[in-house]
Amino acid sequence: MSDWNKRTKLVHGGIRRSQYNEVSEAIFLTQGFVYENAEQAEARFIESGPDEFIYARYGNPTVSMFEQRIALLEGTEDAFAAASGMAAVNGALTSLVKSGDHVVSAKALFGSCLHILENILANFGVEITFVDGTNLDEWRAAVRPDTKVCFFESMSNPTLEVIDIAGVAEIAHSVGATVVVDNVFSTPVFSKAVEQGADVIVYSATKHIDGQGRALGGVVLGTKDYIRGTLEPYMKHTGGSLSPFNAWVMLKGLETIDLRVRAQAETAQKIAEAVEGNEALLRAIYPGLKNHAQNALVQTQLGGKGGTVLSLDIKGGKDAAFKFLNALTIPVISNNLGDAKTIVTHPATTTHQRLSDEQKVDLGINPGLIRFSVGLEDDRDLIADVLQALEASQA
Ligand SMILES: *Cc1c(COP(=O)(O)O)cnc(C)c1O
């Protein structure tokens, strides 16, 4: 299976068939498994093989299929599925540190990731240093012999800064730290994070992996040693395991993810080019645009693909941003991303509302900033809609 190309892996990878030889993956919606006799139960609690399950919090055949398929796609030895993206981030970080350890993290983070570092880990005596993730000198100055983890979003939310995975990995590895990458915005389709030196890769499967807004899920990918030796004990005892039903939704999502994400990124590029320089905008941020600060890195790190999200900084602040949102006729106002439906978000009043004004300025979350997650609609319809809404924003 590992010789297959991506799309073949995504359709057939990790398949386990029951005695009925079903075509579509079965949903094993069961919490437990029956042992043939007491001796078998005893043996399985001592050591269970890959096809021997005990309890759904520890593992389940549908969940295993999802883990194997996504590990094949990402090119890691193993994966552990989690109940949500945040269960995955929490597991990945918390399983690696103890009181007294040091973590270096990029400061441009999803709000809940920031909460885990600033509130939860810090309360348990882990010291955190925040850096500008795009500045390798800051990473170099921040790492120490007791640094256990370097953490960042490879493409930040919502300002779409791209962080140099290979550059940070070299610095982190020089002090023996583990590189944990939240790779949601880069997507598993365009990611080559393993080749670039990431040790642990995390996805919210709620985003592009489901891709149709149905279920929460997450996944952590890495070496077999890390996944089974370090992460699994943490996850299986703290309860962040993925439901078999949601694992099935994600498995079916993987079958089409390559087609969906490529089409969405292509449309995102077209919209970015259509609105670049528009009079209603302070700036159009899209990593696939030549004028993006890290466009050269996008070429090497992501094969030139700018992802499925763009951010539009509209002239006239919050009032103009709200006029823009309310004038759009196709995109829905919500806060997911990576969905088949185009979704627009005003970060300053929703996802990033709780940041202080200083933090918002520091992270570039301006009052006029809109996060625009591009879906699967016809690009011509979306471009026409965006252009008329930009005009309406200035009326
Ligand atoms: C959505 C998201 C998460 C959290 O995922 P959930 O599935 O909502 O728990 C973490 N990191 C990033 C970058 C995200 O976009």
User: Would you say the CB of residue 157 lies under 6 angstroms from ligand 1?
Assistant: yes
Q: In this prediction, what percent of the chain has a pLDDT beyond 90?
A: 94
Q: Whose CA is nearest to atom 5 of ligand 1?
A: 85
Number of domains in the chain: 2
Verify that 244 and 272 share a domain, yes or no.
no
| Inter-axis angle of helices 379-393 and 317-327, nearest 10 | 140
Q: Are residues 14 and 144 in the same domain?
A: yes
Residue 346 has pLDDT above 90, yes or no: yes
pLDDT, residue 50, reads 81
pLDDT of 354 higher than 90: no
Q: What CATH number does the domain containing 379 carry?
A: 3.90.1150.10
Neighbour-count burial of 267, counting CB atoms closer than 10 A to its CB (0-12 exposed, 13-18 middle, 19+ buried): buried
Query: Is 47 exposed, middle or buried (CB count within 10 Å of its CB: 0-12, 13-18, 19+)?
Result: exposed
pLDDT tens digits along 318-333: 999 999 999 999 999 9
pLDDT of residue 361: 87
Is 184's C-beta closer than 6 angstroms to any atom of ligand 1? yes
pLDDT at 235 over 80: yes
Question: Are residues 189 and 270 located together in one domain of the fold?
Answer: no
Using the predicted structure, report yes or no on whether residue 49 has a pLDDT greater than 90. no
d(CA 275, CA 340) in angstroms, rounded, equals: 21
Q: Give the closest residue (by CA) to ligand 1 atom 7.
A: 85
Assigned domain for 179 exists: yes
Number of Cβ atoms within 10 Å of the Cβ of 22:
10
Compute the average pLDDT of residues 91-102. Answer: 98
pLDDT digits (tens, 9 = 90+) for 266-296: 999 999 999 999 999 999 999 999 999 999 9
Structure confidence at residue 171 as a pLDDT band (50, 70, 90): very high
Q: Is the separation of the CB atoms in 342 and 330 below 8 Å?
A: yes
**The domain containing residue 334 runs over which residues?**
258-393
Instruction: Give the per-residue pLDDT at 355.
Output: 86
pLDDT of residue 23: 97
Q: What is the CATH number of the domain that holds 182?
A: 3.40.640.10
Q: Is 89 in the pocket of ligand 1 (CB under 6 A)?
A: yes
Of the two residues 194 and 51, the one the predictor is more confident about is: 194
Shared domain check, 249 and 264: no
